[in-house]
Structure 1
Amino acid sequence: MQSSFAPAATPKTKAAALDTGSKSISTSTKPTDFPSQLRQKLQSKVQTIEKHKVNTHALIDETCPKCGREEVYYTQLQLRGADEGSTTFYTCKCGNRWSQNN
């Protein structure tokens, strides 16, 4: 009859067991393996919004150099270093786009 236990450790096998630098162990789990109420609260809920119902553009009183319209959309981004100004991108309803470094 064969034993299902590991053989007794000898000095040689103990030394081999201590050499862990060349060994790696990997495991994989799924979130369902460890259910938690907190994890359930963290799951996001997707809400579909029609594009034309949400206005995400900011308006500013700036004159379009192409058509002369006095109100255009703008967005500001920090493209350069933190100690330098941001870049403002303008978009007019006529389709003209331009930028200005502040």
Structure 2
Amino acid sequence: MISPLDGLTLPDAAICNTTLGTDPDPYAVAMCRLALRIAGEPEGREAQLFAQAQTDIANKNYSSQDIPLFTPDRQIKTFHPRSNGMLAFRDAVLAALYF
């Protein structure tokens, strides 16, 4: 994964969809989509935010609000099952213990 201290990079928008593979990392998918949006609208909002994050990194402003928008932990949500999911986990654990 990319460290914001090293700078942010985007994949090549011309080929990123074809190089993701069959089970791509969600962060790679998000960065490919961002690259495509920036390529399609170079002056758009995403392009401006990305440019600002790059500027902040270059200026060593690591407390910038723009940098976290492009780091891996911002892209992926942790899985938290709801009540039915928790019941299913409970039942699976009990079945493994007692059967």
The TM-score normalised by the length of structure 2 is 0.23
Instruction: From the two aligned structures, give the one with the greater helix fraction.
Output: 2
User: If you compute each CA radius of gyration, which structure gives the higher value, 1 or 2?
Assistant: 1
Instruction: From the two aligned structures, give the one with the greater strand fraction.
Output: 1
